[in-house]
A and B are shown apart, each in its own frame.
Chain A
Amino acid sequence: MKVTIKKWNAVGTWRWDLPEDDVCGICQVAFDGTCPACKYPGDDCSIQSGKCGHNFHMHCIQEWIKQDSAKGQCPMCRQKFEWNDQSNKNRTVVAV
């Protein structure tokens, strides 16, 4: 018997390539959720990784870093927070 596939539907989902129960320390929302300002997770509410190894929602860490009292430091370890530009590598597509 020969089967010809006439059409097929692909469904995909994704999550950030971070431990599943990891939350943003600033808003305490899971990384797969959004920061409190956004409605939908994804590129518009991305994750910012610091060179110190700590991750935050980009909007959350920006809100903190613009404070004078932040002194440019990571809220977790108080090292200078330096953007790690490869944050998109954290995104993994998971097939379902």
Chain B
Amino acid sequence: MGGTFTSSNLDQTLRVSYQLLPTEGTSAWSSRFQAKRLGKELQKINNGLPPGIELVKADNLEDWLLDIRVLDNNPLYLNQTYRLKFKFSSTYPIEPPEVTFVKDTDHAIPMHPHIYSNGIICLDLLGQQGWSPVQNVESVCMSLQSMLTGNTKDERPPGDEEFVRANRLRPKDIDFYYHDNTV
């Protein structure tokens, strides 16, 4: 915080010197915001994440990978590790990240009535309606972890096959209808 105040030796009056930034366009402003915010999050993540959540890759400002595990003995997810991909637009965290489960040789898509078999997640928190900029990578991982922990239904959302075949929209542009608060 050096340079905030300079005090004059001679007249003992406090002089406040502020240096104003040149005016920036919104896009420059938001990408700078995004970079700083992700830097802060990474710092915090490197100091430790809650049990069952691990950082896999965060070497850029566009997409990160994190693994989550369910900690109790829910038979649906026993001994499984699931991989999450976070995609950040330059307007993060004003806009939500795009979060999907990743399917590869080591990771399956968890069975859940709100998770499509292509990894797209229907969760109000991740949509324009439910998102808040105080949410972050860690809190989203915890929400998904608890969404799995609380689930007992070994099923996909209704219309999964059709959705997975036909959907060309990005997750954030899909108008999910959050009708079911019981799962």
Partners in one complex: yes
Report the minimum CB–CB distance from B96 to chain A (whole Å): 9
Q: Which residues of chain B come closer than 8 Å to A10, judged between CB atoms?
A: 7, 12, 14
Number of A-B contacts (CB under 8 A): 78
Chain B interface residue number, banded: 35 or more
In whole angstroms, how far apart are the Cα atoms of A37 and B24 in the complex? 9
Known contacts A9-B7, A25-B134: A44-B20 contact under CB 8 Å: yes
Task: Tell yes or no: A72 within 8 A of B by CB.
Answer: no
Interface centre among B20, B29, B133 (most CB of A within 10 A): B133
Which residues does A use to contact B, with CB under 8 Å? 7-14, 25-29, 32-33, 35-44, 60, 63-64, 67, 69, 75-76, 78
Q: Which 6 A-B pairs have the closest CB atoms?
A: A25-B134, A36-B36, A75-B132, A28-B40, A36-B33, A69-B128
Which residues does B use to contact A, with CB under 8 Å? 1, 3-5, 7, 9-10, 12, 14, 16, 18-21, 24, 29-30, 32-33, 35-37, 40-41, 44, 93-95, 128-129, 131-134, 136
- Given contact pairs A12-B14, A40-B4, A67-B95, enumerate 8 new A-B contacts (beta carbons under 8 Å): A9-B7, A9-B12, A26-B134, A28-B44, A40-B3, A40-B18, A69-B128, A75-B132
